[in-house]
Amino acid sequence: MKKVDCIVAAPHFLTMEGEGVGYRAQHAMAIDCGKIVGMAPRDAIFKDYRADRVIDNAARVVLPGFIDAHMHTGEAVLRGLAQDTGHWMMYGLGPFEEQLTPEDRVAGAQLAMLEAVRAGTTTFSEFSRRPDHLCDIFRRAGVRANFTVTIREAVDRIYAPGELYDFDPSLGEKSLATCLDLFHRYHETENGRFTVMFGPQAADFVSEKLLLSVKAAAVAAGTKIHMHVQQGDRETYQLVKRCGLRPIAYLDRIGYLDEQLVAVHLTDADDAEAALVAQRGAAMVVCSGSIGIIDGIVPPVKAFQEAGGLAALGSDQAPGNNNHNIFNEMKLTALFNKIRSRDPETMPAWKVLRMATIEGASVLGLDHKIGSLAEGKQADFISVDLAAPTMMPVYDQPMRNIVPNLVYSARGNEVRLVAVDGHIIFEDGQFHTLDENAIIAVNQQAADTLGRKAQAEFQRIDGTNARFMREEKL
């Protein structure tokens, strides 16, 4: 009998192994030094292993922790300030985002973690200009994190309609240097929980010369390129004006569409363009909630998958999406795509659950470590309460309803336990690694200051939400 750190037993496991959800009844999982060392029927595990900590509950389903493949966590301090408005970036987010300090972003990232971990997220793929400011809090939280530094060469200023962006090569060089520095300091650190990717903001914000430098650097480093791709008509306009090609065609011409690319959004891509990205071997992240609110658009993820592409889910940011909750993304991705194709069989529950777990892991190049529950993988897992009203009743036969209920019914608060590398970070409503009250307090303090600082610009812009305030609609 071998001594291990922990044994997790449950009536239902969704291992996500194989082509479906890898369902196993009455199994148990032995965990040692952060790894899954045994996954077998419970009797076999309890015969072969013993542990001081045994987690065993008759009303739980255990599955891999969720992978949120595209987040700007720092913006959670601006939750709820930019919905229901056209030109979201300029008229909605603009007055507030320009006031954000690095400290505000640290507060926001912690708030995003509170929300996301409560709802079962264990892997955070953070995309921002200075993710190095956030590494320490991700480390202390004990979550798995993938960091991408925004590489951008276009000068930040207001451009007239139709005007091409100005490029300042020194900005590009500086952001690439930040990216390389982060890579060398953090990639594959924290027992491998931290990884780093390279992140051109989008094709319109970076010159071709710099794009090719980033590509060469990523090849040399052996890591992926995480990039917004054809994310809106503004990007398309810039590329067409600059070189006569739409962004995806342009990226194809310069050799960017390959297995190394994680292409985010594809908001302005048609089905054929999405299929081309998939056929070239690139992966996709679909941010259904965010793009639904910001643009009223359902990205072509179905066409992307039908062309053989692997797609992950992302929550993007709270002032757009308003949530960092992968249950929300699973349901919205399933429903939005049924609506886009006017077909209730489109994007079934098991498919979006795979996108949130094993396929998400593959998109980030982490499927050798996480994404399913199997011997040799890291023990990133969650346990969900099947006695919660939203998960009740449980049918085993003739059809099992656990997966449809996880996707279409669960709200996130059914998650009872969250573990990363075998360490429990959240259990029965309590965080082991985050001080919830302190995080709430610091976010409220930040908001009180940010509101005051944003006032003048908010009034000057006088957008939809300013009108709603006058009309007593907020």
Q: Binding to a copy of itself (CB under 8 A): which residues in 396-425?
A: 396-405, 407-409, 411-413
Residue selected from 293, 301, 307, 368 as contacting a copy of itself according to rule CB under 8 A: 293
CB atoms within 10 A of CB 277: 27
Strand 144-151: give its sheet, edge to edge.
66-71, 121-128, 144-151, 194-200, 225-229, 261-265, 283-286, 311-313
Within residues 312-331, the interface with a copy of itself by CB under 8 A covers: 318, 321-323, 325, 328
Tell me if 296 contacts a copy of itself by CB under 8 A: yes
Within residues 110-139, the interface with a copy of itself by CB under 8 A covers: 111, 114-115, 118
Within residues 217-276, the interface with a copy of itself by CB under 8 A covers: none
238 vs 337, beta carbon nearer a copy of itself: 337
Determine the 3-state secondary structure of 282 from DSSP. Answer: coil
Q: How many angstroms separate the CA atoms of 186 and 253, rounded?
A: 32
Radius of gyration of the chain (CA): 22
Q: Tell me the closest approach of the beta carbon of residue 17 to a copy of itself, in angstroms.
A: 9
Tell me if 447 contacts a copy of itself by CB under 8 A: yes
Residue selected from 43, 84, 163, 259 as contacting a copy of itself according to rule CB under 8 A: 84
CB atoms within 10 A of CB 316: 27
279 vs 444, beta carbon nearer a copy of itself: 444
Tell me if 338 contacts a copy of itself by CB under 8 A: yes
Residue selected from 341, 374, 423, 427 as contacting a copy of itself according to rule CB under 8 A: 341
Cis bond before residue 319 (omega within 30° of 0): no
Determine the 3-state secondary structure of 61 from DSSP. Answer: strand
Q: How many angstroms separate the CA atoms of 84 and 321, rounded?
A: 11
244 vs 296, beta carbon nearer a copy of itself: 296
Q: Tell me the closest approach of the beta carbon of residue 28 to a copy of itself, in angstroms.
A: 20
Residue selected from 395, 432, 435, 438 as contacting a copy of itself according to rule CB under 8 A: 395
Instruction: Find out whether 240 and 268 touch, Cβ atoms under 8 Å.
Output: no
How far does CA 390 lie from the centroid of its chain? 24
| Structure token pair of residue 340 | 């886009």
Within residues 147-176, the interface with a copy of itself by CB under 8 A covers: none
